[in-house]
């Protein structure tokens, strides 16, 4: 049995999420750490990867105006990285979005965050831009989506058609 076979992915309702904060503390610094902790408390959906009864990774998900999904933060405990856990979390997220009729999924990553962009690329995400999203959704709608996603300068937006 591989390590991946021992991982289960479960929903974390708001009241239980404090126990996941240490994963964020290992994964982010400064503004991102503060913001990721706040998002952990407030975001619609948090899924966590469990190994031997302990959470070792998490993903935060939100739906943007009905038909688009957003992967807010994804993080794996340092000692468990590069074993495919983030990939399992992302595949689980894509299944969840698909089941809720989401037709495209977005994620934003820091320009120089190679592991993160490699993870999303491995699931078929490609870089997109404000101009490209505007062509499809119109400028005003795109501004609203960017605001809802909290994309900040220095980040690139990634997109995958969900179906």
Ligand X SMILES: CC(C)(COP(=O)(O)OP(=O)(O)OC[C@H]1O[C@@H](n2cnc3c(N)ncnc32)[C@H](O)[C@@H]1OP(=O)(O)O)[C@@H](O)C(=O)NCCC(=O)NCCS
Q: Which residues bind ligand X (CB under 6 A)?
A: 27, 73-76, 81-87, 109, 113-116, 118-119, 122
The residue nearest ligand X at its CB is: 86
Taking the least distance from each CB to ligand X, the nearer of 68 and 76 is: 76
From the CB of 124, what's the least distance to ligand X, in Å?
Answer: 11
- b/e map of 71-87 (b: 16 or more CB within 10 Å)? bbbbbbbeebbebbbbb
Is the CB of 121 or the CB of 138 nearer to ligand X?
121
Residue with Cβ nearer ligand X (3 or 11): 3
Kindly state the smallest distance separating residue 72's Cβ from ligand X, in Å: 7
First CA to last CA distance, the chain: 30
Say how many C-beta atoms besides its own lie within 10 A of residue 26's C-beta: 14
Which tokens is 82 given?
């590069």
Least Cβ distance, residue 88 to ligand X (angstroms):
7
What distance in Å separates the CA atoms of residue 138 and residue 148, rounded to the nearest whole number? 15
Edge-to-edge strands of the sheet including 68-76? 8-11, 45-51, 54-64, 68-76, 104-110, 155-161, 126-128
Q: How far is the CB of 61 from ligand X (least distance, A)?
A: 12
Q: Between 33 and 143, whose beta carbon lies closer to ligand X?
A: 33
């Amino acid at each position: 049995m591989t390590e991946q076979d021992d991982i289960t992915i479960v929903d974390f309702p708001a009241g239980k999420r404090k126990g996941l904060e240490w994963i964020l503390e290992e994964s982010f610094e400064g503004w991102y750490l503060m913001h990721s902790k706040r998002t952990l408390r407030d975001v619609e959906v948090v899924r966590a990867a469990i190994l031997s009864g302990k959470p070792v990774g998490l993903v935060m998900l939100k739906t943007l105006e009905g038909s688009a999904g957003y992967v807010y933060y994804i993080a794996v405990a340092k000692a468990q990285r590069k074993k495919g856990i983030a990939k399992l979390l992302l595949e689980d997220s894509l299944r969840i979005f698909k089941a809720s009729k989401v037709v495209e999924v977005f994620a934003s990553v820091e320009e120089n965050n190679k592991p993160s962009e490699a993870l999303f690329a491995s699931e078929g995400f490609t870089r997109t831009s404000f101009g490209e999203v505007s062509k499809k959704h119109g400028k005003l709608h795109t501004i609203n989506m960017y605001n809802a996603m909290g994309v900040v300068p220095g980040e690139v937006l990634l997109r995958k058609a969900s179906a």
